[in-house]
Amino acid sequence: MSGSIQKFFLAITSIAVTCVAIELLPISKKASRWNSCINKTTETLKQVTAVQLMDDKGKEVIAVMICNGAVFEPKIKESIKKSN
């Protein structure tokens, strides 16, 4: 009787671990894409003259903002708004 209870708990544990592993797959794919975006954006930002003067943390902050979808408005729009 004790052997069947152990097999039952082993089966339940196996099912639980499998479910957790399945749930982690989309998260790991998203993390991989995020890291790829950060790396590519940081490398691209290193080519911009104004950004070359920044330290690595500053470049990383800008890369995170870009990968998050931040939109920067040009200063022309700001000056138009102020004149109205």
Mind listing the pLDDT tens digit of every residue in the chain (84 residues)?
577 889 999 999 999 999 999 999 999 999 999 999 999 998 988 888 888 888 888 888 888 988 988 766 656 545 555 555
The C-alpha torsion from 80 through 68 and 51 to 47, rounded to 10°, is -110
Q: What local confidence, expressed as pLDDT, does residue 56 receive?
A: 84
Q: What local confidence, expressed as pLDDT, does residue 82 receive?
A: 57
CA angle 36, 53, 71 (to 5 degrees): 50
Helix or strand (DSSP H, E) at 27: helix 2-45
The single residue listed with the structure tokens 């920067």 is 72
Q: What's the total number of domains in the chain?
A: 1
Domain hosting residue 12, numbered range:
2-83
DSSP class of residue 74 equals P
CB atoms within 10 A of CB 63: 20
> Cα separations (Å) of 10 from 1, 7, 21?
14, 5, 16
